Structure 1
Protein backbone atom coordinates (compact mmCIF):
# COMPACT_ATOMS: atom_id res chain seq x y z
CA UNK A 1 0.00 0.00 0.00
CA UNK A 2 1.42 3.38 -0.99
CA UNK A 3 1.63 5.67 2.02
CA UNK A 4 0.26 9.17 1.58
CA UNK A 5 2.18 12.04 3.12
CA UNK A 6 0.16 14.19 5.50
CA UNK A 7 -0.44 17.78 4.41
CA UNK A 8 1.92 20.24 6.03
CA UNK A 9 0.29 22.92 8.18
CA UNK A 10 3.15 25.24 7.23
CA UNK A 11 2.32 24.72 3.58
CA UNK A 12 -1.33 25.60 4.21
CA UNK A 13 -0.37 28.85 5.94
CA UNK A 14 1.65 29.95 2.91
CA UNK A 15 -1.33 29.75 0.56
CA UNK A 16 -2.87 33.16 -0.06
CA UNK A 17 -6.54 33.54 0.73
CA UNK A 18 -8.72 33.43 -2.35
CA UNK A 19 -12.38 34.37 -2.76
CA UNK A 20 -14.67 31.49 -1.94
CA UNK A 21 -16.33 30.40 -5.15
CA UNK A 22 -18.15 27.39 -3.77
CA UNK A 23 -19.72 26.40 -0.50
CA UNK A 24 -19.37 22.68 -1.19
CA UNK A 25 -17.04 20.83 1.14
CA UNK A 26 -14.09 19.15 -0.51
CA UNK A 27 -14.48 15.40 -0.03
CA UNK A 28 -11.62 13.73 1.78
CA UNK A 29 -9.94 10.67 0.32
CA UNK A 30 -11.41 7.59 1.98
CA UNK A 31 -9.09 5.37 3.95
CA UNK A 32 -8.09 2.27 2.01
CA UNK A 33 -9.99 -0.84 3.06
CA UNK A 34 -9.54 -4.54 2.50
CA UNK A 35 -12.00 -4.24 -0.40
CA UNK A 36 -9.67 -1.70 -2.02
CA UNK A 37 -6.77 -4.14 -1.76
CA UNK A 38 -8.90 -6.91 -3.25
CA UNK A 39 -9.97 -4.67 -6.11
CA UNK A 40 -6.38 -3.63 -6.75
CA UNK A 41 -5.25 -7.26 -6.78
CA UNK A 42 -8.05 -8.26 -9.14
CA UNK A 43 -7.28 -5.39 -11.50
CA UNK A 44 -3.64 -6.42 -11.66
CA UNK A 45 -4.60 -10.02 -12.35
CA UNK A 46 -6.90 -8.88 -15.16
CA UNK A 47 -4.12 -6.66 -16.49
CA UNK A 48 -1.73 -9.61 -16.50
CA UNK A 49 -4.29 -11.77 -18.29
CA UNK A 50 -4.84 -9.07 -20.91
CA UNK A 51 -1.11 -8.97 -21.52
CA UNK A 52 -0.96 -12.74 -21.91
CA UNK A 53 -3.89 -12.65 -24.33
CA UNK A 54 -2.17 -9.86 -26.23
CA UNK A 55 0.94 -12.01 -26.55
CA UNK A 56 -1.11 -14.95 -27.79
CA UNK A 57 -2.95 -12.71 -30.27
CA UNK A 58 0.31 -11.25 -31.58
CA UNK A 59 1.78 -14.71 -32.02
CA UNK A 60 -1.35 -16.03 -33.77
CA UNK A 61 -1.34 -13.02 -36.10
CA UNK A 62 2.26 -13.65 -37.07
CA UNK A 63 3.54 -10.49 -35.38
CA UNK A 64 7.24 -10.75 -34.54
CA UNK A 65 7.63 -9.72 -30.91
CA UNK A 66 11.39 -9.38 -31.28
CA UNK A 67 14.14 -10.61 -29.00
CA UNK A 68 14.04 -7.59 -26.68
CA UNK A 69 10.29 -7.74 -26.06
CA UNK A 70 10.37 -11.53 -25.68
CA UNK A 71 13.16 -11.25 -23.12
CA UNK A 72 11.22 -8.66 -21.12
CA UNK A 73 8.01 -10.71 -21.22
CA UNK A 74 9.85 -13.80 -20.03
CA UNK A 75 11.51 -11.91 -17.20
CA UNK A 76 8.21 -10.37 -16.11
CA UNK A 77 6.47 -13.73 -16.04
CA UNK A 78 9.23 -15.17 -13.86
CA UNK A 79 9.24 -12.13 -11.55
CA UNK A 80 5.44 -12.31 -11.18
CA UNK A 81 5.65 -15.90 -9.99
CA UNK A 82 4.40 -17.50 -13.21
CA UNK A 83 7.21 -19.99 -14.01
CA UNK A 84 4.89 -22.38 -15.85
CA UNK A 85 3.65 -19.61 -18.17
CA UNK A 86 7.25 -18.50 -18.67
CA UNK A 87 8.25 -22.07 -19.53
CA UNK A 88 5.45 -22.36 -22.12
CA UNK A 89 6.27 -18.96 -23.59
CA UNK A 90 9.94 -19.90 -23.92
CA UNK A 91 9.21 -23.09 -25.87
CA UNK A 92 6.25 -21.82 -27.92
CA UNK A 93 7.50 -18.37 -28.87
CA UNK A 94 11.29 -18.65 -28.80
CA UNK A 95 12.54 -22.20 -29.31
CA UNK A 96 9.73 -23.14 -31.73
CA UNK A 97 10.58 -20.10 -33.86
CA UNK A 98 14.28 -20.83 -33.91
CA UNK A 99 15.19 -17.76 -31.87
CA UNK A 100 18.60 -18.11 -30.25
CA UNK A 101 18.22 -17.03 -26.62
CA UNK A 102 20.71 -14.51 -25.28
CA UNK A 103 22.21 -14.51 -21.79
CA UNK A 104 19.29 -12.52 -20.33
CA UNK A 105 16.77 -15.09 -21.54
CA UNK A 106 18.91 -17.99 -20.33
CA UNK A 107 19.26 -16.38 -16.89
CA UNK A 108 15.47 -16.04 -16.68
CA UNK A 109 14.95 -19.64 -17.78
CA UNK A 110 17.45 -20.94 -15.23
CA UNK A 111 15.38 -19.26 -12.51
CA UNK A 112 12.16 -20.53 -14.10
CA UNK A 113 13.30 -24.16 -14.31
CA UNK A 114 14.71 -24.10 -10.78
CA UNK A 115 11.38 -22.81 -9.46
CA UNK A 116 9.59 -25.62 -11.30
CA UNK A 117 11.87 -28.16 -9.59
CA UNK A 118 13.66 -29.05 -12.84
CA UNK A 119 17.16 -28.58 -11.47
CA UNK A 120 18.86 -30.86 -14.02
CA UNK A 121 17.42 -28.84 -16.92
CA UNK A 122 18.35 -25.59 -15.17
CA UNK A 123 21.93 -26.82 -14.72
CA UNK A 124 22.20 -27.75 -18.42
CA UNK A 125 21.18 -24.23 -19.44
CA UNK A 126 23.47 -22.74 -16.81
CA UNK A 127 26.41 -24.80 -18.10
CA UNK A 128 25.82 -23.46 -21.59
CA UNK A 129 25.67 -19.93 -20.25
CA UNK A 130 28.75 -20.09 -18.05
CA UNK A 131 30.73 -21.78 -20.82
CA UNK A 132 30.08 -19.03 -23.38
CA UNK A 133 32.58 -16.27 -24.13
CA UNK A 134 30.06 -13.47 -23.56
CA UNK A 135 28.94 -14.96 -20.26
CA UNK A 136 26.73 -12.62 -18.23
CA UNK A 137 25.49 -14.31 -15.06
CA UNK A 138 22.74 -12.80 -12.97
CA UNK A 139 22.90 -12.97 -9.19
CA UNK A 140 19.38 -14.43 -9.07
CA UNK A 141 20.18 -17.28 -11.49
CA UNK A 142 23.36 -18.21 -9.61
CA UNK A 143 21.53 -18.14 -6.29
CA UNK A 144 18.75 -20.39 -7.61
CA UNK A 145 21.26 -22.96 -8.91
CA UNK A 146 23.10 -23.12 -5.58
CA UNK A 147 19.85 -23.15 -3.60
CA UNK A 148 18.63 -26.06 -5.73
CA UNK A 149 21.72 -28.08 -4.83
CA UNK A 150 21.33 -27.14 -1.16
CA UNK A 151 17.75 -28.41 -1.07
CA UNK A 152 18.95 -31.79 -2.39
CA UNK A 153 21.92 -31.90 0.04
CA UNK A 154 24.30 -31.92 -2.95
CA UNK A 155 26.88 -29.69 -1.32
CA UNK A 156 29.89 -31.02 -3.21
CA UNK A 157 28.16 -30.28 -6.53
CA UNK A 158 27.18 -26.89 -5.14
CA UNK A 159 30.84 -26.25 -4.30
CA UNK A 160 31.93 -26.92 -7.90
CA UNK A 161 29.43 -24.39 -9.24
CA UNK A 162 30.22 -21.97 -6.43
CA UNK A 163 33.86 -21.85 -7.55
CA UNK A 164 32.87 -21.22 -11.19
CA UNK A 165 30.42 -18.52 -10.13
CA UNK A 166 33.04 -16.86 -7.94
CA UNK A 167 35.53 -16.94 -10.83
CA UNK A 168 32.91 -15.01 -12.86
CA UNK A 169 32.95 -12.30 -10.13
CA UNK A 170 29.28 -12.69 -9.22
CA UNK A 171 28.47 -11.20 -5.81
CA UNK A 172 26.64 -13.63 -3.56
CA UNK A 173 24.72 -13.16 -0.32
CA UNK A 174 26.32 -14.11 2.98
CA UNK A 175 23.75 -16.85 3.55
CA UNK A 176 25.13 -18.65 0.47
CA UNK A 177 28.54 -18.90 2.15
CA UNK A 178 27.06 -19.86 5.54
CA UNK A 179 24.91 -22.70 4.23
CA UNK A 180 27.64 -24.05 1.94
CA UNK A 181 30.30 -24.09 4.67
CA UNK A 182 27.89 -25.75 7.08
CA UNK A 183 26.80 -28.37 4.54
CA UNK A 184 30.34 -29.21 3.41
CA UNK A 185 31.59 -29.60 6.99
CA UNK A 186 28.59 -31.76 7.91
CA UNK A 187 29.34 -34.10 4.99
CA UNK A 188 33.06 -34.23 5.75
CA UNK A 189 34.32 -31.98 2.93
CA UNK A 190 36.28 -29.74 5.27
CA UNK A 191 38.98 -28.84 2.73
CA UNK A 192 36.34 -27.50 0.36
CA UNK A 193 34.70 -25.62 3.25
CA UNK A 194 38.01 -23.88 3.97
CA UNK A 195 38.22 -22.82 0.31
CA UNK A 196 34.72 -21.33 0.52
CA UNK A 197 35.79 -19.54 3.71
CA UNK A 198 38.86 -18.06 1.99
CA UNK A 199 36.87 -17.00 -1.11
CA UNK A 200 34.29 -15.32 1.11
CA UNK A 201 36.94 -13.31 2.97
CA UNK A 202 38.53 -12.28 -0.34
CA UNK A 203 35.35 -11.41 -2.26
CA UNK A 204 33.26 -9.74 0.42
CA UNK A 205 35.89 -8.14 2.63
CA UNK A 206 33.61 -8.90 5.57
CA UNK A 207 34.84 -10.56 8.77
CA UNK A 208 33.72 -14.16 9.34
CA UNK A 209 30.85 -14.72 11.73
CA UNK A 210 31.07 -16.68 14.97
CA UNK A 211 28.89 -19.38 13.41
CA UNK A 212 31.36 -19.78 10.52
CA UNK A 213 34.32 -20.08 12.87
CA UNK A 214 32.56 -22.68 15.02
CA UNK A 215 31.39 -24.70 12.03
CA UNK A 216 34.92 -24.89 10.63
CA UNK A 217 36.43 -25.61 14.04
CA UNK A 218 34.16 -28.57 14.83
CA UNK A 219 34.52 -29.85 11.27
CA UNK A 220 38.31 -29.80 11.56
CA UNK A 221 38.23 -31.53 14.96
CA UNK A 222 35.95 -34.24 13.60
CA UNK A 223 38.29 -34.73 10.64
CA UNK A 224 41.34 -34.88 12.92
CA UNK A 225 43.00 -31.81 11.37
CA UNK A 226 44.03 -30.42 14.73
CA UNK A 227 46.75 -28.03 13.56
CA UNK A 228 44.21 -26.26 11.35
CA UNK A 229 41.64 -26.41 14.16
CA UNK A 230 44.01 -24.60 16.51
CA UNK A 231 44.66 -21.96 13.86
CA UNK A 232 40.92 -21.30 13.67
CA UNK A 233 40.89 -21.33 17.47
CA UNK A 234 43.58 -18.66 17.63
CA UNK A 235 42.00 -16.52 14.90
CA UNK A 236 38.74 -16.49 16.84
CA UNK A 237 40.54 -15.08 19.86
CA UNK A 238 42.27 -12.46 17.70
CA UNK A 239 38.87 -11.42 16.31
CA UNK A 240 37.60 -10.99 19.87
CA UNK A 241 35.24 -13.96 19.96
CA UNK A 242 34.81 -15.87 23.21
CA UNK A 243 35.92 -19.48 22.99
CA UNK A 244 33.56 -21.52 25.16
CA UNK A 245 34.18 -24.67 27.19
CA UNK A 246 32.54 -26.86 24.55
CA UNK A 247 35.20 -25.85 22.01
CA UNK A 248 38.06 -26.32 24.48
CA UNK A 249 36.73 -29.75 25.46
CA UNK A 250 36.26 -30.78 21.82
CA UNK A 251 39.89 -29.94 21.07
CA UNK A 252 41.06 -31.88 24.14
CA UNK A 253 38.97 -34.84 23.06
CA UNK A 254 40.47 -34.76 19.55
CA UNK A 255 44.00 -34.74 20.99
CA UNK A 256 43.05 -37.57 23.36
CA UNK A 257 41.86 -39.74 20.47
CA UNK A 258 45.30 -39.28 18.89
CA UNK A 259 46.94 -40.19 22.25
CA UNK A 260 48.49 -36.73 22.52
CA UNK A 261 47.62 -35.95 26.12
CA UNK A 262 50.39 -33.37 26.48
CA UNK A 263 48.63 -31.33 23.79
CA UNK A 264 45.30 -31.93 25.51
CA UNK A 265 46.68 -30.69 28.84
CA UNK A 266 48.16 -27.65 27.10
CA UNK A 267 44.67 -26.79 25.87
CA UNK A 268 43.35 -27.38 29.41
CA UNK A 269 45.80 -24.92 30.98
CA UNK A 270 45.10 -22.42 28.23
CA UNK A 271 41.41 -22.73 29.08
CA UNK A 272 42.11 -21.93 32.73
CA UNK A 273 44.34 -18.99 31.78
CA UNK A 274 41.57 -17.48 29.65
CA UNK A 275 39.18 -17.63 32.60
CA UNK A 276 36.94 -20.33 31.16
CA UNK A 277 35.87 -22.74 33.89
CA UNK A 278 35.99 -26.46 33.03
CA UNK A 279 33.01 -28.68 33.77
CA UNK A 280 32.53 -32.39 34.37
CA UNK A 281 32.66 -33.10 30.62
CA UNK A 282 36.09 -31.46 30.43
CA UNK A 283 37.48 -33.57 33.27
CA UNK A 284 35.89 -36.78 32.00
CA UNK A 285 37.45 -36.16 28.58
CA UNK A 286 40.93 -35.80 30.10
CA UNK A 287 40.48 -38.76 32.46
CA UNK A 288 39.32 -40.97 29.61
CA UNK A 289 42.34 -39.89 27.54
CA UNK A 290 44.82 -40.80 30.29
CA UNK A 291 43.12 -44.13 30.98
CA UNK A 292 43.24 -44.95 27.28
CA UNK A 293 47.03 -44.51 27.39
CA UNK A 294 47.38 -46.51 30.63
CA UNK A 295 48.41 -43.44 32.64
CA UNK A 296 46.30 -44.31 35.68
CA UNK A 297 48.18 -42.09 38.13
CA UNK A 298 47.47 -38.97 36.09
CA UNK A 299 43.85 -40.01 35.69
CA UNK A 300 43.59 -40.42 39.47
CA UNK A 301 45.02 -36.95 40.07
CA UNK A 302 42.35 -35.48 37.82
CA UNK A 303 39.70 -37.47 39.68
CA UNK A 304 40.88 -35.88 42.91
CA UNK A 305 40.78 -32.44 41.34
CA UNK A 306 37.27 -33.08 40.05
CA UNK A 307 36.00 -34.17 43.46
CA UNK A 308 37.72 -31.38 45.41
CA UNK A 309 36.96 -28.50 43.05
CA UNK A 310 33.47 -29.43 41.89
CA UNK A 311 32.37 -31.97 44.48
CA UNK A 312 31.31 -34.28 41.65
CA UNK A 313 32.04 -37.94 41.17
CA UNK A 314 33.56 -38.65 37.70
Structure 2
Protein backbone atom coordinates (compact mmCIF):
# COMPACT_ATOMS: atom_id res chain seq x y z
CA UNK A 1 0.00 0.00 0.00
CA UNK A 2 2.82 2.41 0.84
CA UNK A 3 4.49 1.71 -2.50
CA UNK A 4 1.19 2.27 -4.31
CA UNK A 5 0.94 5.63 -2.58
CA UNK A 6 4.33 6.65 -3.97
CA UNK A 7 3.34 5.61 -7.47
CA UNK A 8 0.03 7.44 -7.22
CA UNK A 9 1.83 10.63 -6.30
CA UNK A 10 3.30 10.65 -9.78
CA UNK A 11 0.43 9.27 -11.86
CA UNK A 12 -2.50 10.99 -10.14
CA UNK A 13 -1.20 14.10 -8.41
CA UNK A 14 1.49 14.90 -10.94
CA UNK A 15 4.10 15.32 -8.20
CA UNK A 16 6.75 12.60 -8.42
CA UNK A 17 7.93 11.34 -5.01
CA UNK A 18 11.18 12.89 -3.84
CA UNK A 19 13.95 11.64 -1.55
CA UNK A 20 12.00 12.56 1.57
CA UNK A 21 8.91 10.65 0.39
CA UNK A 22 10.93 7.54 -0.40
CA UNK A 23 12.96 7.79 2.80
CA UNK A 24 9.81 8.04 4.91
CA UNK A 25 8.29 4.92 3.36
CA UNK A 26 11.60 3.03 3.51
CA UNK A 27 11.92 3.89 7.20
CA UNK A 28 8.39 2.60 7.76
CA UNK A 29 9.30 -0.72 6.14
CA UNK A 30 12.47 -0.87 8.24
CA UNK A 31 10.54 -0.23 11.45
CA UNK A 32 8.21 -3.06 10.46
CA UNK A 33 11.14 -5.38 9.72
CA UNK A 34 10.35 -5.55 5.99
CA UNK A 35 13.92 -5.67 4.69
CA UNK A 36 13.10 -6.89 1.18
CA UNK A 37 10.50 -4.18 0.58
CA UNK A 38 12.83 -1.53 1.97
CA UNK A 39 15.62 -2.66 -0.35
CA UNK A 40 13.32 -2.74 -3.38
CA UNK A 41 12.31 0.87 -2.79
CA UNK A 42 15.93 1.78 -2.14
CA UNK A 43 16.91 0.37 -5.54
CA UNK A 44 13.92 2.07 -7.14
CA UNK A 45 15.21 5.40 -5.84
CA UNK A 46 18.52 4.84 -7.61
CA UNK A 47 16.84 3.95 -10.88
CA UNK A 48 14.91 7.22 -10.74
CA UNK A 49 18.08 9.18 -10.16
CA UNK A 50 17.26 10.02 -6.55
CA UNK A 51 20.23 10.12 -4.20
CA UNK A 52 19.54 8.57 -0.78
CA UNK A 53 20.33 10.70 2.26
CA UNK A 54 21.83 9.71 5.62
CA UNK A 55 18.36 9.10 7.03
CA UNK A 56 17.59 6.56 4.29
CA UNK A 57 20.90 4.76 4.67
CA UNK A 58 20.75 4.67 8.46
CA UNK A 59 17.24 3.19 8.40
CA UNK A 60 18.30 0.26 6.22
CA UNK A 61 21.61 -0.18 8.03
CA UNK A 62 19.75 -0.29 11.34
CA UNK A 63 17.48 -3.06 10.10
CA UNK A 64 20.42 -5.02 8.69
CA UNK A 65 22.28 -4.74 11.99
CA UNK A 66 19.23 -5.78 14.01
CA UNK A 67 19.10 -8.91 11.87
CA UNK A 68 22.75 -9.79 12.44
CA UNK A 69 23.83 -8.49 9.02
CA UNK A 70 26.40 -5.90 10.10
CA UNK A 71 28.82 -6.92 7.33
CA UNK A 72 26.15 -6.18 4.72
CA UNK A 73 25.39 -2.90 6.48
CA UNK A 74 29.04 -1.86 6.21
CA UNK A 75 29.03 -2.73 2.51
CA UNK A 76 26.04 -0.44 2.09
CA UNK A 77 27.93 2.32 3.89
CA UNK A 78 30.92 1.95 1.55
CA UNK A 79 28.56 2.10 -1.41
CA UNK A 80 26.95 5.27 -0.10
CA UNK A 81 30.30 6.94 0.69
CA UNK A 82 31.34 6.26 -2.90
CA UNK A 83 28.21 8.12 -3.97
CA UNK A 84 29.19 11.15 -1.95
CA UNK A 85 27.16 10.63 1.22
CA UNK A 86 29.13 11.72 4.29
CA UNK A 87 28.32 9.49 7.30
CA UNK A 88 27.79 11.04 10.72
CA UNK A 89 28.32 9.59 14.19
CA UNK A 90 24.85 7.98 14.22
CA UNK A 91 25.77 5.85 11.20
CA UNK A 92 28.91 4.55 12.90
CA UNK A 93 27.03 4.00 16.15
CA UNK A 94 24.53 1.84 14.25
CA UNK A 95 27.37 -0.23 12.83
CA UNK A 96 29.04 -0.54 16.23
CA UNK A 97 25.79 -1.91 17.62
CA UNK A 98 25.53 -4.37 14.76
CA UNK A 99 29.06 -5.69 15.05
CA UNK A 100 28.88 -5.96 18.83
CA UNK A 101 25.73 -8.08 18.50
CA UNK A 102 27.61 -10.62 16.41
CA UNK A 103 30.64 -10.48 18.73
CA UNK A 104 33.01 -8.86 16.24
CA UNK A 105 34.89 -6.49 18.55
CA UNK A 106 37.69 -5.92 16.03
CA UNK A 107 35.11 -4.38 13.70
CA UNK A 108 33.76 -2.28 16.57
CA UNK A 109 37.27 -0.91 17.18
CA UNK A 110 37.59 -0.26 13.45
CA UNK A 111 34.38 1.78 13.46
CA UNK A 112 35.67 3.87 16.37
CA UNK A 113 38.94 4.54 14.56
CA UNK A 114 37.12 5.43 11.33
CA UNK A 115 35.00 7.90 13.25
CA UNK A 116 38.09 9.57 14.67
CA UNK A 117 39.82 9.59 11.28
CA UNK A 118 36.84 11.46 9.83
CA UNK A 119 36.93 14.00 12.63
CA UNK A 120 33.72 12.75 14.23
CA UNK A 121 33.47 13.03 18.00
CA UNK A 122 31.87 10.07 19.80
CA UNK A 123 28.85 11.18 21.83
CA UNK A 124 27.07 9.57 24.79
CA UNK A 125 25.11 7.26 22.48
CA UNK A 126 28.31 6.12 20.77
CA UNK A 127 30.02 5.38 24.08
CA UNK A 128 26.95 3.54 25.35
CA UNK A 129 26.94 1.38 22.22
CA UNK A 130 30.62 0.65 22.71
CA UNK A 131 30.10 -0.23 26.37
CA UNK A 132 27.13 -2.48 25.54
CA UNK A 133 29.25 -4.30 22.99
CA UNK A 134 32.08 -4.91 25.44
CA UNK A 135 29.65 -6.08 28.13
CA UNK A 136 27.88 -8.38 25.70
CA UNK A 137 31.21 -10.04 24.91
CA UNK A 138 32.28 -10.24 28.56
CA UNK A 139 35.06 -7.66 28.13
CA UNK A 140 34.45 -5.81 31.38
CA UNK A 141 37.90 -4.24 31.62
CA UNK A 142 37.39 -2.60 28.24
CA UNK A 143 33.80 -1.68 29.14
CA UNK A 144 34.89 0.06 32.33
CA UNK A 145 37.70 1.85 30.51
CA UNK A 146 35.23 3.21 27.96
CA UNK A 147 32.88 4.18 30.79
CA UNK A 148 35.61 6.12 32.61
CA UNK A 149 36.62 7.84 29.38
CA UNK A 150 32.99 8.78 28.83
CA UNK A 151 32.85 10.38 32.28
CA UNK A 152 36.13 12.23 31.77
CA UNK A 153 34.73 13.81 28.63
CA UNK A 154 31.73 15.09 30.56
CA UNK A 155 29.24 12.80 28.80
CA UNK A 156 26.32 11.58 30.90
CA UNK A 157 25.56 7.85 31.04
CA UNK A 158 21.89 6.88 30.96
CA UNK A 159 19.85 3.87 32.12
CA UNK A 160 21.12 1.80 29.20
CA UNK A 161 24.76 2.51 30.01
CA UNK A 162 24.48 1.64 33.69
CA UNK A 163 22.28 -1.41 33.12
CA UNK A 164 24.68 -2.83 30.52
CA UNK A 165 27.58 -2.50 32.96
CA UNK A 166 25.58 -3.88 35.88
CA UNK A 167 24.47 -6.86 33.80
CA UNK A 168 28.02 -7.45 32.61
CA UNK A 169 29.42 -7.41 36.14
CA UNK A 170 26.65 -9.73 37.37
CA UNK A 171 27.37 -12.25 34.62
CA UNK A 172 31.06 -12.01 35.53
CA UNK A 173 30.25 -12.76 39.18
CA UNK A 174 31.42 -9.34 40.33
CA UNK A 175 28.41 -8.44 42.44
CA UNK A 176 30.27 -5.86 44.52
CA UNK A 177 31.06 -3.88 41.36
CA UNK A 178 27.49 -4.32 40.14
CA UNK A 179 25.99 -2.92 43.34
CA UNK A 180 28.54 -0.12 43.43
CA UNK A 181 27.31 0.97 40.00
CA UNK A 182 23.72 0.57 41.19
CA UNK A 183 24.56 2.99 44.01
CA UNK A 184 26.21 5.42 41.59
CA UNK A 185 23.17 5.20 39.32
CA UNK A 186 20.89 6.25 42.16
CA UNK A 187 23.36 8.97 43.13
CA UNK A 188 23.06 10.69 39.74
CA UNK A 189 19.28 10.58 39.87
CA UNK A 190 18.66 7.60 37.59
CA UNK A 191 16.07 5.17 38.94
CA UNK A 192 16.88 1.57 37.91
CA UNK A 193 14.18 -0.25 35.99
CA UNK A 194 13.04 -3.86 35.82
CA UNK A 195 15.88 -4.80 33.48
CA UNK A 196 18.44 -3.47 35.95
CA UNK A 197 16.95 -5.34 38.89
CA UNK A 198 16.53 -8.52 36.87
CA UNK A 199 20.26 -8.45 36.13
CA UNK A 200 21.05 -7.99 39.82
CA UNK A 201 18.61 -10.72 40.83
CA UNK A 202 20.10 -13.14 38.30
CA UNK A 203 23.58 -12.40 39.59
CA UNK A 204 22.55 -12.97 43.20
CA UNK A 205 20.73 -16.18 42.30
CA UNK A 206 23.83 -17.57 40.64
CA UNK A 207 25.75 -16.94 43.85
CA UNK A 208 22.93 -18.15 46.10
CA UNK A 209 22.64 -14.76 47.78
CA UNK A 210 19.22 -13.50 46.73
CA UNK A 211 17.34 -14.48 49.90
CA UNK A 212 20.01 -12.92 52.13
CA UNK A 213 20.03 -9.74 50.04
CA UNK A 214 16.24 -9.43 50.13
CA UNK A 215 16.25 -9.84 53.90
CA UNK A 216 18.68 -6.96 54.17
CA UNK A 217 16.51 -4.66 52.06
CA UNK A 218 13.08 -4.84 53.67
CA UNK A 219 12.83 -1.07 53.44
CA UNK A 220 12.11 -0.65 49.74
CA UNK A 221 11.81 3.13 49.69
CA UNK A 222 12.55 4.54 46.25
CA UNK A 223 11.92 1.23 44.43
CA UNK A 224 9.16 1.25 41.87
CA UNK A 225 6.32 -1.15 42.57
CA UNK A 226 6.89 -3.21 39.45
CA UNK A 227 10.61 -3.36 40.23
CA UNK A 228 9.94 -4.79 43.69
CA UNK A 229 7.59 -7.30 42.10
CA UNK A 230 10.56 -8.44 40.03
CA UNK A 231 12.52 -9.11 43.24
CA UNK A 232 9.75 -10.88 45.14
CA UNK A 233 8.56 -12.96 42.20
CA UNK A 234 11.87 -14.83 41.94
1:293, distance to aligned residue in structure 2 (A)? 0.5
1:241 to 155, 176, 189: 155
Q: Check if 1:196 corresponds to 2:94.
A: no
Corresponding residue number in structure 1 for 2:190: 276
TM-score between both structures, scaled by the size of structure 2: 0.56
Matches within 5 A, 1:1-314: 115=46, 150=61, 154-156=69-71, 159=74, 172-174=86-88, 176-201=91-116, 203-296=117-210, 298-301=212-215, 303-306=217-220, 308-310=221-223, 312-313=228-229, 314=231
Inter-CA distance 183–249: structure 2 relative to 1 (3 Å threshold):
closer
Q: Say whether the 8 Å CA contact 1:290–1:298 is kept in structure 2.
A: no
Q: For 2:123 and 2:197, how far apart are their aligned partners in 1?
A: 29
1:245, distance to aligned residue in structure 2 (A)? 2.8
Q: How many residues align?
A: 174
Q: For 1:178 and 1:282, how far apart are their aligned partners in 2?
A: 23
Q: For 1:273 and 1:233, how far apart are their aligned partners in 2?
A: 16
1:269, distance to aligned residue in structure 2 (A)? 2.7
Inter-CA distance 260–182: structure 2 relative to 1 (3 Å threshold):
closer
1:200, distance to aligned residue in structure 2 (A)? 1.0
Q: Say whether the 8 Å CA contact 1:181–1:193 is kept in structure 2.
A: yes
Q: For 1:193 and 1:159, how far apart are their aligned partners in 2?
A: 11
Q: For 1:309 and 1:209, how far apart are their aligned partners in 2?
A: 30
1:192, distance to aligned residue in structure 2 (A)? 0.5
1:207, distance to aligned residue in structure 2 (A)? 1.4
TM-score between both structures, scaled by the size of structure 1: 0.43
Larger Rg: 1
Q: For 1:299 and 1:198, how far apart are their aligned partners in 2?
A: 43
